[in-house]
Structure 1
């Protein structure tokens, strides 16, 4: 009798254990599905916000379209600056929106809205969909991408890109410094409408790569005027005073660029020495992963001929 009873008890224990494991796996799978179809709590700079765990219809009102695209999340609306960026070909059929065109935003039925802290109608936007805003420069540009990753429930993907980018940028920067010299300086200029600007180290236009990642030199005069606000307005007559050994010119080709034919511009040492590298401003504005990859490639080709 004992010989029969012991195997029976053992079989019963194994059956119960198997059922328990199967039940646990079902619960785990169910929880995972619930998270993907439900919500997560994102800790924004303004407090916790319930957002979709798997957003399908994201609307970006400023700056962050490239971050969202880099994480393979669908966009239904973007700001005009993103829309006209030649690097963002994926936005061809995406609607252009503003923070004041609320009727259009309602029609697009977004499940998440993202923008800078300066956008208008935030309270009304929150009634349409969960809305998260960021203060520009509150965190560094790579941390910003990781934050977008957290918001979209894709933090691991965002961090993986950041780690890879930093390694690639450092390698390229080391090669550039080996070629141009440790003490060489670089300035980033832009002409927008009738005004010239010189940039610090955190205002797009490749400045984050040149100064933060590659640690290339910035002219002392630029440090004095552009580091605090990120940019400084100049006249053509004084450009030479802020020009480094090398100059990156972020230029709008659809505007009047006759300044490039003036003696004032031609006599800037970097221009005379063929150390001027001209970029398309519309491709160069931002500091999202798509733009950063483009900028890094531009610098590699310009400085190294790669």
Structure 2
């Protein structure tokens, strides 16, 4: 009897051990299976199978802030995103890449690649990982964030942010109009390389917030020349014609800014009235959630004062 009991006890121990190992194995396999799950994203170029939970995303243009704001890991970004001072902490260990760096992108082992529709080498990129591109301006800037949310399987999170942002920006617009007057005009200027530009309502630099959400007015000349294409190139002599009662200047220290010292610029009413608000161009280029939140705070501080930030 003792031998039989001992034999049964050993069998029970072996059985329980096997069950435990089976459970551990199942859990590990389940986790691996989760990593391999895919969803089908309906891109502008047709359906694309992408990871349900991407973990290594390469962003080749514009959308790094959208991806980071949704808590998805980025392993490679474009040069403009990498040079954005507001992204430095988040991107300090992230590689700078372009669509020409095929081997470098391959080494990063991405599970998803995102970029604009004019990307080069798309066929080569698709061989590395599922690649999804967007045409800039095809949909509005907030719907663009929701689309990236869909792509990353985080649509609800994107929609929640958009709803909250619109409420905050629109309320700020009402507050600003009370201060500057409902008919006051606002222009957004930038000196890029050797050329001065004025912007419409959908070309970053805070234009989406000022004109689309806050409903502030743009000068007639800006509306006529820049609204359709998003931007318009100016000569120094005609800047006064495009300058509103308030001017947002997106300024880069890498550019010749000697125009700031000219009589033409100094005599613009907005400049003389201290209605010139200067922003760091590298922080102001984009219209992703991280940048938009910063731009909104900037406008609230400049138009309303720091206490209203």
* TM-score normalised according to structure 1 size: 0.88
- Once residues 227 and 33 of structure 1 are traced to their aligned partners in structure 2, the CA distance between those partners, rounded to angstroms, is 49
Match for residue 154 of structure 2? 154
Question: Do the aligned partners of residues 225 and 260 (structure 1) sit closer, same or farther apart at CA in structure 2, a change above 3 Å counting?
Answer: same
Determine helix, strand or coil for the equivalent of 1:48.
Answer: strand
- Once residues 200 and 243 of structure 1 are traced to their aligned partners in structure 2, the CA distance between those partners, rounded to angstroms, is 13
- Once residues 37 and 227 of structure 1 are traced to their aligned partners in structure 2, the CA distance between those partners, rounded to angstroms, is 45
Determine helix, strand or coil for the equivalent of 2:62.
Answer: coil
Map of 1:162-173 to 2, 5 A cutoff?
Answer: 162-173=162-173
Match for residue 108 of structure 2? 108
Match for residue 62 of structure 1? 61
Question: Do the aligned partners of residues 33 and 158 (structure 1) sit closer, same or farther apart at CA in structure 2, a change above 3 Å counting?
Answer: farther
Q: Deviations over 1:91-113 (max 9, x none)?
A: 11100001011010111110000
Map of 1:110-129 to 2, 5 A cutoff?
Answer: 110-129=110-129
Mapped pair 1:207 → 2:219: no
**Structure 1, unaligned runs of 5 or more:** 1-29
**Deviation at residue 255 of structure 1 after TM alignment:** 2.3
Aligned length: 277
- Once residues 262 and 113 of structure 2 are traced to their aligned partners in structure 1, the CA distance between those partners, rounded to angstroms, is 46
- Once residues 261 and 76 of structure 1 are traced to their aligned partners in structure 2, the CA distance between those partners, rounded to angstroms, is 42
- Once residues 126 and 144 of structure 2 are traced to their aligned partners in structure 1, the CA distance between those partners, rounded to angstroms, is 21
Match for residue 304 of structure 2? 304
Map of 1:14-29 to 2, 5 A cutoff?
Answer: none
- Once residues 33 and 107 of structure 1 are traced to their aligned partners in structure 2, the CA distance between those partners, rounded to angstroms, is 22
Q: Deviations over 1:117-157 (max 9, x none)?
A: 01101111000000000000010000000000000000011
Mapped pair 1:131 → 2:112: no
**Deviation at residue 259 of structure 1 after TM alignment:** 1.2
**Structure 2, unaligned runs of 5 or more:** 1-28
- Once residues 300 and 261 of structure 1 are traced to their aligned partners in structure 2, the CA distance between those partners, rounded to angstroms, is 27
Q: Deviations over 1:255-286 (max 9, x none)?
A: 22121111111011100111000000000000
Match for residue 39 of structure 1? 38
- Once residues 53 and 214 of structure 1 are traced to their aligned partners in structure 2, the CA distance between those partners, rounded to angstroms, is 36
- Once residues 33 and 160 of structure 1 are traced to their aligned partners in structure 2, the CA distance between those partners, rounded to angstroms, is 30
Map of 1:250-265 to 2, 5 A cutoff?
Answer: 250-265=250-265
Mapped pair 1:182 → 2:182: yes
**Deviation at residue 254 of structure 1 after TM alignment:** 2.8
Determine helix, strand or coil for the equivalent of 1:99.
Answer: coil
Match for residue 10 of structure 1? none
State the Cα RMSD in Å.
1.4
Match for residue 283 of structure 2? 283
Determine helix, strand or coil for the equivalent of 2:255.
Answer: coil
Match for residue 85 of structure 1? 84
* TM-score normalised according to structure 2 size: 0.88
Map of 1:230-241 to 2, 5 A cutoff?
Answer: 230-241=230-241
